[in-house]
Structure 1
Amino acid sequence: MTQHAAYDLAAEQALIGAALLAPNLMTDLAVTLAPSDFGRPAHAVLWEAMCAMHAAQIPTDPITVTAHLAETGDLGKVGGAPYLHTLVSQVPTAANAGHYAGIVAGHAKRRKVADLGNQLAQLATSGADPAEIVATGRALLDDADTGTGWSPLIPLGKGRHLPVFPADLLPAWLGDHVRAVAEFTQTPIDLAGSLALACLSTAAGGRAEVEVRGSWREPTNLYIVVVLPPGSRKSAVFAAMIPPIMAAEKTLIEKVMPVIIEAELTAKVTGKAAERAALAAASAEGAQRDTLIAEATAAAMNAEAVAVPAKPQLVADDVTSEKAQSILADQGGRLAVLSPEGGIFATIAGRYSGTPNLEVFLKGHAGDMLRVDRRSRDAEHVENPALTMGLAVQPEILRDIAQMPGFRGKGLLARILFAVPENTVGRRKVGADPVPEKVATCYAANLHALVLTLAEWTDPAVLPLTPEANEYVLEIERTVEPQLGPGGAWAHIVDWGSKYTGAVVRIAGLLHLAEHLRDGWGKPVEVETVQRADAIGEYYAAHALAAFDDMGADQHTRNARTILTWVERGAVTTFTKREVFRALKSSQLPTAGDFDPPLGVLEAHGYLRQLDIPAPKRTGGRPPSPTYLVHPDVHRPAATVHPLDTRRAA
């Protein structure tokens, strides 16, 4: 555990996290430790609240404690709701709470001894000039303000120093295009990289599946959502990535149109024949009537048997749930929703119908049978629907969908691979080189070929794993499982983490098909492909933690992240409140007073330290703007170790 001269930060975090995770522990812990025993002020405030709640027989679980602190106005002082979830997620095991309490109590006793020593020293030198004592005290504070004596940073959620999309793990023809598009549009490579996977999913979804072992087969369709603010050139990236899909759709339409026209003509002819036979039977009498009825029945059956193929459609945009169901039925259960906007989430939530309809998006990911009711014909069953989603949404939409009924509870958010890249607006290069023609042509030709190669598969092609690849998947499962339990790194996103291994297998299937464009269906998936898919999966795991953290954050925490981004981009080491107000004044932070809560959050997390405010130079003058010192580690990018990295290192 991380040690500190005055207190043990990790022990305090583990203790409070254990009490949040197992509220029954408060019976013993509240007697053992007082709020003053905690070295970090935010922890003292939090512990005082938890002890008061325990005394009032109120459970101290994270949700109840968050609500209590919000009601008392102390939530910002302790770092907001995300910090409480951070505490819970970092508990090795709640069973060791007594041990953590002993460490905290021991440090508290040592601080008291140190305080007593200071008092004795002051008494021993009580004959000194008081002004000299004050000057010495200020000198010690100045030494601390120059960067010494800082406590370790408390992470402000999971959003700092996230990994960038590993485009080098894609097949060369795909990775080259992703890098070139990101350079030309001056957008985060995460957007083009995620869209590349969505395009592969559009080509292969419903047409191929990976056989892991036994009856476990994973389809190859993905749900991917990239989170970027307005003005991030999302549409430009879509325009560079999607055209080969649309060109392939046009080719498929041209190929099937003669069949459609012939079927439509046949349907008309047989329909007319059935009508004439029915009229003849209706006007007949006697024995002839029975014969004509039999002939009319056969004609009607012939007309009904004529099937008119649907016009091929690979992609939809802002589609309703009902329309998506209808298209899936027409297209053999295959469809992609690709859009640079996130309006579809509001549509799913019931913008038009007033009732959320998630069924098609839940079953369309899992491949569970979907029943489609038609007004013009009998209900149809889509045996194995395969829906793809590739969306770019604004951060506000991400936060909104977290509050939409059923999105989390029914598992839709758990099916999404999130990317939360760093915004490049304000730092983009003007006049960037366009995508080289050779790179764009190769990308278009290969993606077009992949779509057409797989388009004819009515039953999905089965891609087996090699024994080595299957063993690697087993190792992924062994590594992930402990992260999902109480105290694990993914305990608070267990719904998402439970689908991690399946997502990696799906990505592996897509990489395999992209590497073997015309014969991938006849080859097993190699272990090296699964390893690269796992590395891409780790990228999405880090971003999922950030996305879910942001969805649960309060506004003060989000504003704190805005200030921290400004500090990091400008390499700011000291600043005044007036300076940050002038730089970041917005509709979210309209007044100087609105900066106090987020600055308090940053102080509580150890990112900032407010210096003493000197007295005004003249009586009645306005006091100087508060000055803040930035923790030196803010400008030292931390090496983020993902929970799964231990397997790869081994």
Structure 2
Amino acid sequence: MHDIPITFNGRPRRYIWEYRGSENEILGYVARFDADGKKDVVPYFQRVNGHGWNSGSPAKPRPLFGLQILARAEPDEPIYVVEGEKAAAALQSLGLIAVTSQGGSQASSKSDWKSLAGQKHIYILPDNDEAGEAYARETVAILAGLENPPVISIVRLPNLSHGGDIVDWIAAYVEDALLEWDGFKPVPESGIDIQALLREFKKEIDAHAVPAPAEWESTSQANADWDTPISLESAPLPAWPNDVFPSKIQDFVTALSASTETPPELAALLVLAAISSAAQGKYKVQVKTDYSEPVNIWVCVALPPGSRKTAVQQAATAPLTAWERRQQEDLGPKMKQAASEYESLAARIKQLRKDAGQASDSEFKELKEKIAEAEAELPEIPTAPQVWAQDVTPENLGSLMATNDERMAILSDESGIFDILAGRYSNGIPNLDLFLQGHAGSPVKVNRSSRPAIVMYSPALTLGLSPQPEVLRGLIDTPSFRGRGLLGRFLYALPYSNLGYRTLDRSPMHPNYRAGYEATLTHILDHELPDSDDDASPPYMLKLTIEAAKKWQSFALSVEAGMREGGMYDHLTDWAGKFPGAVIRVAALLHIARYADTGPWKKDIGAEDMEAALRMAEVLSVHALAVFDLMGADPALDGARLVLRWIKREGKSEFTFRDCHQAHKSRYKRAKELDPIIDVLIERHFIRQRVEKVAHRPSRVFEVNPAVLSNS
């Protein structure tokens, strides 16, 4: 039903709690795994397919546990807030309205408590330890700040051991009735008087309930005239869509992600790069009469070491490697025969030249003609086609592309290609031309004295990279990377890492999924260019249906608007300007894969594949913001985080501009460099300015939103 693993870190699964919404819909699960006195409580809120879930907390603000029960509560019914799903479920099994937040004692502020607004009375039952008290205090501050806040009481149950909670209190009552209860399943109804238990519970509530301390609510009152701060962090990453590829490809992507326990973004984008590797150079998309796009793409998925990126890449590229091997085997005899003929003729030519050097004038003329005839008969030695490489210099890349129909893919789970582009082999001088031309499909002419000239009229280069996040952090420091548009050409993903939450016992992928994926890519690799009277055959020119074109045009206009000052992409215009074109390429690749065995050139790209590409684009745009944020693409935002950390570290309820500059002089030499940073903090409601006169000289004083320090 839920596909939650039966073990985690070698510990068996003990219990699963369902998180449901107010309409009783499933939102996710929290599972407990325990053995030998140790436990893991793991959330599963990331959908991976129609039936399964990946580990990971829900996006903030997180839903409460018990929303479906709370939805049925009357305003005057008492609501009980406890710490942990186990405690809430125990009270719920008694017919009481009980809720808790997801994530433990330090995660109250990450949850959405607005559903408790308008309730008459809320009782908070803290665990009997410091963490329980802290949880209660933080929750009181949140509830007191709700619109139409409830009356809040704190109930510290008596006779609890250190760390004890309501489950221990109920367990003691059950044991007195000589019954067994593990604390996880509902409280047993047989053999125990539930109504008597409820009366005893109500008696303890009445005896020990005390009003929430006024100072606990003071944080909320202090915040009353402040707007809630807008986070300086990137927006939460949305779930990756699980229905974007044609069925054979989607089945493989989903199964690959599940079997390797890797984020779905990794498998999806590396597979998309593999499709691009097979199709590039053979297809273009005619968007308008004067505008076309090639179908090769660049993708970059950043994950930390140990994330099994290599395993995913090997699976994604396996059909490409298998096709290359078959071509090598088929061409082997022809290559050997041609090489043998070449060596024989070369030896004859060498001997003729030797004879010509000692011949008379009349003999020389005859030998010269024989040499020319022999040279004309020299066979061209065929080379087996190569689809992709991993580590290649720009110079070698040009030669590779020239001998492989002007196409090549670089697919790697390492970051070496960025070092090469930055000038590892060119004395630190970035060498980007061929890469940029290969992405755009613009002609290439390379003339060097030490190498044969390379001329390509329509080069196509695919990149599929999966470096570590730290690699991305430093890319923007190479000015030409961004200034010349290199970084703006990638489709990025920065998935949440699930390291530490994997089960390490997932079943292998079913062979049928691999077979379906390999068959699709093999069909694409076998596609021949259309016949042409010219020596160089043009690629197939795909077109959009009217409906697909309208959907793309609407999307492109929304991206265009986002590049205005203050818009979503105002600091990413280099990337956003190329984003609509990248989406065209993705839609084309989905179309090519869908009709790989029947001929993609026979149909126009339809609304189905365009809509799928746009669903990807919706997620990829958020990932791009996160990646460029990681790179420090917006200096003001990056600086705002630095100043905010200083405010929290120093516990400043207010500060002067002069103080702030003094504390950050090592990074910001001139005071005016801080102005845009202060503006960001003001715009996002972290601080506000109060102008005062100090010794006849105006001084900029800033008050700090109390919520900043209460959450530090």
TM range (shorter): 0.5 to 0.7
| Aligned 1:379-398 pairs, distance under 5 A | 379-398=453-472
**Paired position in structure 2 for 1:154:** 230
**Paired position in structure 1 for 2:426:** 353
Is 1:297 matched with 2:363?
A: no
Q: CA deviation at 1:310?
A: 2.4
Aligned residue among 439, 458, 468 for 2:547:
468
Is 1:534 matched with 2:614?
A: yes
Is 1:177 matched with 2:252?
A: yes
Instruction: Identify if the C-alpha distance between structure 1 residues 607 and 174 changes in structure 2 by more than 3 Å, giving closer, same or farther.
Output: farther
Q: Deviations over 1:270-291 (max 9, x none)?
A: 3233333333433332444334
Q: Distance in 1 between matches of 2:282 and 2:514?
A: 25
Q: Which has the higher mean CA deviation after the structures are superposed, 383-392 or 314-323?
A: 314-323
Instruction: Identify if the C-alpha distance between structure 1 residues 259 and 191 changes in structure 2 by more than 3 Å, giving closer, same or farther.
Output: same
Instruction: Identify if the C-alpha distance between structure 1 residues 478 and 143 changes in structure 2 by more than 3 Å, giving closer, same or farther.
Output: closer
Aligned residue among 287, 293, 313 for 1:212:
287
**Paired position in structure 2 for 1:448:** 522
Q: CA deviation at 1:210?
A: 1.4
Instruction: Identify if the C-alpha distance between structure 1 residues 434 and 160 changes in structure 2 by more than 3 Å, giving closer, same or farther.
Output: farther
1:503–1:537 Cα contact (<8 Å) kept: no
Q: CA deviation at 1:441?
A: 2.3
| SS of alignment partner, residue 254 of structure 1 | helix
Instruction: Identify if the C-alpha distance between structure 1 residues 459 and 275 changes in structure 2 by more than 3 Å, giving closer, same or farther.
Output: farther
1:326–1:372 Cα contact (<8 Å) kept: no
Q: Deviations over 1:274-322 (max 9, x none)?
A: 333333433332444334323323333443xx32222221121122222
1:191 partner amino acid: L
2:245–2:590 Cα contact (<8 Å) kept: yes
Q: CA deviation at 1:544?
A: 1.1
Aligned residue among 242, 256, 279 for 2:317:
242
Is 1:197 matched with 2:272?
A: yes
Is 1:257 matched with 2:337?
A: no
Q: CA deviation at 1:628?
A: 6.0
2:529–2:540 Cα contact (<8 Å) kept: no
Aligned residue among 221, 224, 236 for 1:144:
221
Q: Deviations over 1:13-40 (max 9, x none)?
A: xxxxxxxxxxxxxxxxxxxxxxxxxxxx
**Paired position in structure 2 for 1:167:** 242
Q: CA deviation at 1:339?
A: 1.1
1:392 partner amino acid: S
Q: Distance in 2 between matches of 1:456 and 1:312?
A: 19
| SS of alignment partner, residue 524 of structure 1 | coil
**Paired position in structure 2 for 1:511:** 590
Q: Distance in 2 between matches of 1:233 and 1:461?
A: 37
Is 1:521 matched with 2:597?
A: no
1:253–1:311 Cα contact (<8 Å) kept: yes
Instruction: Identify if the C-alpha distance between structure 1 residues 486 and 151 changes in structure 2 by more than 3 Å, giving closer, same or farther.
Output: closer
| Aligned 1:274-423 pairs, distance under 5 A | 274-303=349-378, 306-354=379-427, 355-373=429-447, 378-423=452-497
Q: Which structure features the higher share of helix residues?
A: 1
Q: CA deviation at 1:456?
A: 9.4
2:686–2:708 Cα contact (<8 Å) kept: no
**Paired position in structure 1 for 2:93:** none
Q: Distance in 1 between matches of 2:635 and 2:309?
A: 25
Q: Distance in 2 between matches of 1:432 and 1:628?
A: 43
Instruction: Identify if the C-alpha distance between structure 1 residues 482 and 254 changes in structure 2 by more than 3 Å, giving closer, same or farther.
Output: same
2:476–2:633 Cα contact (<8 Å) kept: no
TM-score (normalizing by structure 1): 0.62
| Aligned 1:541-560 pairs, distance under 5 A | 541-552=621-632
Gaps of 5+ in 1: 1-134, 565-575, 578-599, 609-625, 632-650
**Paired position in structure 2 for 1:11:** none
Q: CA deviation at 1:216?
A: 2.1
Q: Distance in 1 between matches of 2:636 and 2:259?
A: 35
Q: Which has the higher mean CA deviation after the structures are superposed, 274-283 or 441-450?
A: 274-283
**Paired position in structure 2 for 1:497:** 576
1:210–1:219 Cα contact (<8 Å) kept: yes
2:235–2:622 Cα contact (<8 Å) kept: no
| SS of alignment partner, residue 452 of structure 2 | coil
Is 1:427 matched with 2:491?
A: no
Q: CA deviation at 1:238?
A: 1.5
Q: Distance in 2 between matches of 1:420 and 1:148?
A: 36
1:230 partner amino acid: P
Instruction: Identify if the C-alpha distance between structure 1 residues 507 and 554 changes in structure 2 by more than 3 Å, giving closer, same or farther.
Output: closer
Q: Distance in 2 between matches of 1:233 and 1:448?
A: 25
| SS of alignment partner, residue 176 of structure 1 | helix
Q: Deviations over 1:89-126 (max 9, x none)?
A: xxxxxxxxxxxxxxxxxxxxxxxxxxxxxxxxxxxxxx
**Paired position in structure 2 for 1:597:** none
Q: Distance in 2 between matches of 1:548 and 1:144?
A: 37
| SS of alignment partner, residue 167 of structure 1 | coil
2:614 partner amino acid: D
Q: CA deviation at 1:394?
A: 1.1
1:425 partner amino acid: L
**Paired position in structure 2 for 1:22:** none
Is 1:480 matched with 2:550?
A: no
Instruction: Identify if the C-alpha distance between structure 1 residues 535 and 261 changes in structure 2 by more than 3 Å, giving closer, same or farther.
Output: same
Q: Deviations over 1:27-63 (max 9, x none)?
A: xxxxxxxxxxxxxxxxxxxxxxxxxxxxxxxxxxxxx
| SS of alignment partner, residue 491 of structure 1 | coil
- Percent identical pairs in the alignment equals 35
* Larger RCO, structure (CA 8 Å, separation 6 or more): 1
Q: CA deviation at 1:375?
A: 7.2
| SS of alignment partner, residue 371 of structure 2 | helix
Q: Distance in 1 between matches of 2:581 and 2:452?
A: 34
TM-score (normalizing by structure 2): 0.57
Q: Deviations over 1:452-506 (max 9, x none)?
A: 3358996422222233333333333333322223333222111111111211111
Q: Distance in 2 between matches of 1:188 and 1:536?
A: 15
Q: CA deviation at 1:226?
A: 0.5
| Aligned 1:576-587 pairs, distance under 5 A | none
Q: Distance in 1 between matches of 2:639 and 2:416?
A: 25
Instruction: Identify if the C-alpha distance between structure 1 residues 295 and 200 changes in structure 2 by more than 3 Å, giving closer, same or farther.
Output: same
1:226–1:391 Cα contact (<8 Å) kept: yes
Instruction: Identify if the C-alpha distance between structure 1 residues 217 and 282 changes in structure 2 by more than 3 Å, giving closer, same or farther.
Output: same
Q: Distance in 2 between matches of 1:142 and 1:481?
A: 42
Q: Which structure features the higher share of strand residues?
A: 2
1:238–1:340 Cα contact (<8 Å) kept: yes
Instruction: Identify if the C-alpha distance between structure 1 residues 423 and 150 changes in structure 2 by more than 3 Å, giving closer, same or farther.
Output: farther
Q: Distance in 1 between matches of 2:351 and 2:548?
A: 63
2:249 partner amino acid: L
1:164–1:190 Cα contact (<8 Å) kept: no
Instruction: Identify if the C-alpha distance between structure 1 residues 239 and 149 changes in structure 2 by more than 3 Å, giving closer, same or farther.
Output: farther
Q: CA deviation at 1:139?
A: 7.4
Q: CA deviation at 1:182?
A: 1.3
Instruction: Identify if the C-alpha distance between structure 1 residues 500 and 603 changes in structure 2 by more than 3 Å, giving closer, same or farther.
Output: closer
Instruction: Identify if the C-alpha distance between structure 1 residues 198 and 137 changes in structure 2 by more than 3 Å, giving closer, same or farther.
Output: same
